[in-house]
Structure 1
Amino acid sequence: MRKIFILINLVLFVNLNSHGQIKTNEVSKPEFGKFLDSLKVKGAILIYDVKNNTYYSNDFAWAKMGIIPASTFKIPNSIIALETGIIQNDSVIFKWNGEKRNFKKWEQDLTFKKAFQVSCVPCYQEIARKVGVKRMKTYLKKLNYTGMVFDTLTIDNFWLQGKSKISQMQQIDFLERLYFSKLSISKRTENIMKNIMLIEKTKSYTLNGKTGWGMRNDVDNGWFLGYLETNNSVYFFATNVEMKDATMEVFPAIRLNSTKEAFKKLN
């Protein structure tokens, strides 16, 4: 019996890192990179398989590099809006004031859910201004969403430009905590977030996520992150790509298509 106890403790010790957490495996997937090359972009696709505690990527160095979050910040921004009561539910209406906006799809009254899904920047700038610097910092600390740099002058654009940074690894960690109810937020907020993040639902899988589009070193940078639920597991993912030779017309779709292709290659 004593030998069994020692053996169990030895296995636990081997599988724990210096922070007391179970080590995750990192498996290189060069085929992800080859597919990105074929699409004329560069970057990394990162997938985390919860059941097997394994990360897959073509470039782990890229996946651990801090990059401006762009519109993926609408996830924590939405959570904070709901938790502070600035937004009551996903049916709240953002009234369009008639001013010209960057995209036609923003030039209309939008529900909170729709504003999230069409990534309405002016809507979320309004939210950030209402939250304010002090509350934003308090809630980001509470959510352990680190790396954001802002003050009173940048409260409504720090996720789009400036020094704010988050890595693909950190994005997945945050999403995993949201999915498994490990954030210090209400169940109501959690359910609303999972609802507005829904992208696609089929008999075999459900896809939830958020895209983002910003600039890194004056180069177009695209995000797509979220989670894929299957009948017997859940996978978290964060794709980040930059323009190489791709055209602006196809760049937005590349984020989604490259991620789906990576999942196909994982079977």
Structure 2
Amino acid sequence: MRKLFVLFNLILFVNFYGNCQTKNLKPKEIVKSEFGNILDSLKVKGSILIYDVKNKTYYSNDFEWSKTGVIPASTFKIPNSIIALESGIIKNDSTIFKWNGDKRRFKKWEEDLTFKKAFQVSCVPCYQEIARKIGVKRMKSYLKKLSYDGMIFDTLTIDNFWLEGKSIFSQMQQIDFLERLYFSQLPISKRTENIMRDIMQLEKTENYILSGKTGWGMSNGMNNGWLVGYLETSNSVYFFATNVEKQETDMEEFPIIRLNSTKEALKKLKLIK
């Protein structure tokens, strides 16, 4: 009987140790030259990074690029929205931003916008208003709490530090942050999580839900484009962060390139059709 007891405990220990080892395994990094071919065909340079949570595997054409920080641009609207909701500056997704009649960069910004719509059309003046209301001290406190590192700002740059300046965030950091948001590992309310999940949705089909946020800034004199988010399928979730650069010639197609290149990479992994 004693031998059986010892054997049983040994089996339990082996299983427990094996599970711990699996959980602590460093994610694999697999180079996918096909992703580079996609970007070449679209005449941009950069990196597509996709993370398979279930298999703890990163896929990218350029891991050096994916680990290098650049200005986060409007992808910062994700933490900015979270902070606005958590601090009470924004009450809910129906909160209205009144347009004062001033000329704005895009026609779609020249109207009264709900918070949800402001996020989805990436209204810069709306989010500059949010940042000013949050203020430097509170913004720094919340970013520290969220472990959203790399942002550099003061009272003079509180409303544009994510668009220009020295703030940097990498594709790897983007995925880490999104993963923590998705799996409820951020110190925020469930209500805020649910609002973010709703306003971030880009596409919903019978087979998947695609959620995320675009960004467009300037880096070293080049147009720098972002698309970050996650793909939910029936059996798993995959996180992605695409960052591409293009010289300022024929820029009309640049916005859609971020989405198209990401979806093509997801197709290469047979995650969508």
TM range (shorter): over 0.9
**Match in the other structure for 1:209:** 212
Tell me the distance in 2 between the aligned counterparts of 1:247 and 1:253: 13
Q: Decide whether the 8 Å contact of 2:223 with 2:247 is kept in 1.
A: no
Runs of 4+ in 1 over 3 A off after TM superposition: 1-16
**Contact conserved, 2:212 with 2:229, CA < 8 A, in 1?**
yes
Residues 94 and 112 of structure 1 are in contact (CA less than 8 Å); yes or no, is this contact kept in structure 2? yes
Q: Which secondary structure state, in structure 2, belongs to the residue aligned with residue 260 of structure 1?
A: helix
List gaps (5 residues or longer) in structure 1: none
Q: Deviations over 1:83-109 (max 9, x none)?
A: 000000000100000000000000000
Q: Shift in Å at residue 23 of structure 1?
A: 1.0
Give the distance between the partners of 2:182 and 2:247, measured in 1 at CA.
33
Q: 1:13 Cα deviation (Å)?
A: 7.5
Per-residue Cα deviation, 1:198-256 (whole angstroms, up to 9, x for no partner): 11111100011000000110100000010000111110000000005862011110000
Contact 1:26 1:54 in 2 (8 A): yes
What TM-score, normalized to structure 1?
0.94
Which residue of structure 2 aligns with residue 222 of structure 1?
225
Match of 1:237 among 240, 243, 260: 240
Tell me by how many angstroms 1:51 deviates: 1.1
Residue of structure 2 equivalent to 1:152:
155
> Is 2:84 the counterpart of 1:81?
yes
1:117 alignment counterpart? 120
Task: Name the CA shift for 1:245/1:139 in 2 (closer, same or farther; >3 Å).
Answer: closer
**Retained in 2: the 8 A contact 1:148–1:165?**
yes
1:192 aligns with 2:176: no
**Paired AA for residue 216 in structure 1:** S
Gaps in structure 2 of 5+ consecutive residues = 1-6
Which TM-score applies when normalising by structure 2?
0.92
The answer to whether the 8 A contact 2:223-2:248 is kept is no
2:129 is equivalent to residue 129 of structure 1: no
Aligned to 2:101: 98
Matched residues in 1 for 2:224 and 2:60: separation? Answer: 18
Root-mean-square deviation (CA, aligned residues, Å) is 1.6
The answer (yes or no) to whether the contact 1:39–1:246 under 8 Å persists in 2 is no
Q: Which residue of 1 aligns with 2:268?
A: 265
TM-aligned CA deviation for residue 22 of structure 1: 3.0
Letter in 2 for 1:125: Q
Q: Residues of 2 paired with 1:215 and 1:176: CA distance?
A: 26
Q: How far apart in 2 are the matches of 1:14 and 1:113?
A: 42
8 Å contact kept, 1:66–1:165: yes
2:26 aligned with 1:29 = no
Cα distance in 2, alignment partners of residues 8 and 92 from structure 1:
51
Question: How far apart, CA to CA, are the structure 1 residues paired with 2:20 and 2:131?
Answer: 44
- State the one-letter code of the partner of 2:243: N
How many residues in Structure 1 have an aligned counterpart in Structure 2?
263
Aligned residue runs from structure 1 range 61-72, under 5 A:
61-72=64-75
1:38 aligns to what? 41
